[in-house]
Structure 1
């Protein structure tokens, strides 16, 4: 299993030290953890483009991240990272990545560069 898949397996299982576990249980938005998750999701999307079949655990993970992270962080008392533009861009990125994963292509016109968050 390559590094991106290992990272996603760690994240999607919400294992100790994962961005998702910290977010859900400790209400902490770990910027480095988010970057690791986002880059791994993007790498897997690139490799999965046009695939006819997707592993269930990956599909469940992408769905979970795209639906639950916005829900968990929507609470008015959730300590969102600053600036607000960064946080909004992160939530949008998760949605875009899930869309790309399930459709097999992203919605951006090529050549597209994914800005660092």
Structure 2
């Protein structure tokens, strides 16, 4: 299994050290962990954009991240990362990546450069 898929497997299972585990159990938005998750999601989207059948575990993971992370962190008592525009960009990125994963193409005109968050 390549590095990006291994990273997503660890994240989607909320294994120790994962961004998602820290988010849910410790209420911590780990910037480095988010970056690791986002880059792995982006790499897998690029690799699988022409794939007709998607593995269920990946589909469930992308769906979970795109729906549950925004919902969970929207709670008024969740300590969101600052500045607010960083947080908003991260949530938008998760939604965009899930859309790309499921549709097989992203919404941006090429050439598009994905900035690091």
Give the TM interval when normalised to the shorter protein: over 0.9
After superposition, residues 33-112 of structure 1 pair within 5 angstroms as 33-112=33-112
- 1:29-60: per-residue Cα shift (whole Å, max 9, x none)? 00000000000000000000121000000000
- Paired residue secondary structure (2:52): coil
Give the alignment's Cα RMSD to 1 decimal.
0.4
Gap runs ≥5 in structure 2: none
Aligned to 1:23: 23
Query: What SS class does the counterpart of residue 22 from structure 1 fall into?
Result: helix
Deviation at 1:23, TM superposition (A): 0.1
Distance 2:54 2:23 in 1: 26
TM-score (norm: length of structure 1): 0.99
- Name the CA distance, whole Å, in 2 between partners of 1:3 and 1:97: 18
- Normalized against structure 2, the TM-score is what? 0.99
Large movers: runs of 4+ above 4 Å: none
Number of residue pairs the alignment of both structures matches: 117
Where does structure 1 lack aligned partners over 5 or more consecutive residues?
none
* Residue in structure 1 matched with residue 13 of structure 2 by the alignment: 13
1:110 Cα offset (Å): 0.1
